[in-house]
Copies of this chain bind each other. A is one copy, B any other.
Amino acid sequence: MPTYTAPITDQIFVLEDVLGVSRQDIPGYEDMDRDTLTAILDEAGKLASDVLNPLNPVGDTMGCVLENGVVRTPTGFKEAFDQMREGGWTALDCDPDYGGQGLPYVVATAVGEQFSAANMAFNMYPGLTHGAYSAIHAHGTDAQKEMYLPKMVTCEWTGTMNLTEPHCGTDLGLMRTKAVPQDDGTYKVTGQKIFISAGDHDMSENVIHLVLAKIPGGPEGIKGVSLFIVPKFIIEDGKPGARNGVSVGKIEEKMGIHGNSTCVMNYDEATGYLLGEEHKGMRAMFTMMNEARVGVGLQGYAQAEVAYQNALAYAKDRLQGRDVTGVKNPDGPADPLIVHPDIRRNLMDQKSFVEGARAFAYWGANLIDRSHRCDDAAAHGLVSLMTPVIKGFLTDKGFEMATNAQQVYGGHGYIEEWGMSQFARDARIAMIYEGANGVQALDLVGRKLAQDGGKHVMAFFAQVTDFIKETKGRSDSFDKDFREPLKAASKDLQAAGMFFMQNGMKNPNAALSGSYDFMHLMGHVCLGLMWAKMAVVAEDKLAEGAGDADFYKTKIATGRYYMARQLPMTTTHLRRIESGAETVMALDAEAF
């Protein structure tokens, strides 16, 4: 059975040594010194390894079951959720006014990485609740906030997001669910929503659904969509009272995340309460989009992390074949898999991705903190630009790496009992939900690049360029192994941006045909930047003789691998982008 160990040293390295969290001037950050961070991550890690991780295969095998209208979660989930609640883990970065602990989002992100790696399907229950919490926190009336938030902070009541309908996913303007205003100021919500994660279950007293619906007579399409709070049990005197008109149609059979109840939800004149303004439902949803999408990006690399940990253990343990350069395990019948260069290549791909991805995701979370807690418009703009890259790139690569980890096991990787298949199957959804990755690419190229006159992408380019300037002449090895490759990759990125500027205006398809490649190109540049920054820190630490030299040497070696073996993908992405729309759009739809 797979195991999981929270990579606390690596997490602290990014939080404290690279980002310098405790030295950043953001409210709440000042208390986050190395000891405090270590204490938090250590405790979270125990919950992840000892409680959540053993339930991961249980959730996969048992799944959720709908019986007489009631959803039963897998054995042990409820007890684990109680432990999570009691430990205060659901309240980590929530508002102290509603019972939260007020810790930085970046710290909650590090904890979330652990929980997601240990049990992705499980962690979606508090994860979705947090999303709904954020929406009510940002757009609710004081009365709504007082009514719902304290219970959602503790996850005594959990939350959901209801967007998709059978005939519309990305194109929410086609939505049919309607909300009819009543004399008492409430609405009657009627319609069917699908793919509702954590839609119903037996682990909380109440489920607070956030539902997108159209008020009859409102504007056509996406501009006529409003957001409603539809509790499973209507709140009476602060407690769940009468059953509302919402029921589970069925639980979907999915490729993975079986431990999470993905429901078809039927609303039949359910009582709903407007959240925010009429017809401004999409705006309310978008408020929490950056955070939600960063959270999905995190799921992507978290699955890669846990899959990597197990693949590594297997590669060290499994004896098969001999090292071509000389026997390494003369007393055994064969050498461990890890002696073989192609196994190394595979493991280094995984390792260098996961560690780079972690730095990238934490950097994004840090920007979200800066945006929310310091009202920093530049940080907000930059993280908005980065969000589709964090979501799209980290989930694509996360799935790829989970699949690669499965490959290390040979035939055993395909057998469910060994658990590697689950990592790949679970990771697969992250490429799809919260906006399929093609939609992320469209958001990036069609919207974010040009946002505020292209200011944010220019700011990002400037960050990279400044870094390259600042690190000039550090050392020959840094120059060759990090600085030059980063420079070349960022040149590719800028060339791609230039191609879009020159061609996208007269032919939008010329840009959109390259959108997916651009998302990946930018992802590689971001990870390249992260690795170069990590290398600088590691080199400095080594120079000052700090701590564990082997740790920093390993960091540099892992970074060098990424720069040499992964970053060159930017060239191919650029080539594809520059080939434009012509070959992509050459065929009529009928000719396919």
Contact = CB atoms under 8 A, between A and B. Distances in A.
Contact of A342 (B256, B406, B421, B441): B441
B255 A341 contact: no
Please name the 9 residue pairs, one residue from A and one from B, whose CB atoms are nearest each other, closest first.
Answer: A341-B512, A568-B575, A255-B421, A564-B579, A557-B586, A561-B583, A341-B513, A253-B416, A171-B320
Contacts of A417: 252-253
Measured as residues with beta carbon below 8 angstroms from the partner, the interface class of chain A is 35 or more
B407 A432 contact: yes
Given A174-B333, A512-B342, A576-B565, A414 B429 contact: yes
A465 to B, nearest CB: 23
Nearest to A511: B341
A372 interface: no
A411 B592 contact: no
Contacts of A410: 169-170, 432, 436
Interface string A405-440: 011001101111100010011001101110011100
Interface of A: 164, 167-171, 174, 194-195, 252-256, 312, 316, 319-321, 324-325, 333-334, 336, 338-348, 351, 399, 403, 406-407, 410-411, 413-417, 421, 424-425, 428-429, 431-433, 436-438, 441-442, 446, 507-509, 512-513, 515-516, 550, 553-554, 557-558, 560-561, 564-565, 568-569, 571-572, 575-576, 579, 581, 583-587, 589, 591-592
Contacts of A171: 319-321, 334
B342 A513 contact: yes
Majority-rule SS of A interface residues: helix
Contact of A568 (B334, B515, B572): B572
A340 B316 CA distance: 46
Contact of A343 (B415, B424, B438, B575): B438
A341 to B, nearest CB: 4
Contacts of A428: 403, 406, 414, 424
A565 B579 contact: yes
A312 B333 CA distance: 51
- Among A320, A411, A416, A585, which residue has the most Cβ atoms of chain B within 10 A? A411
A516 B414 CA distance: 20
B431 A407 contact: yes
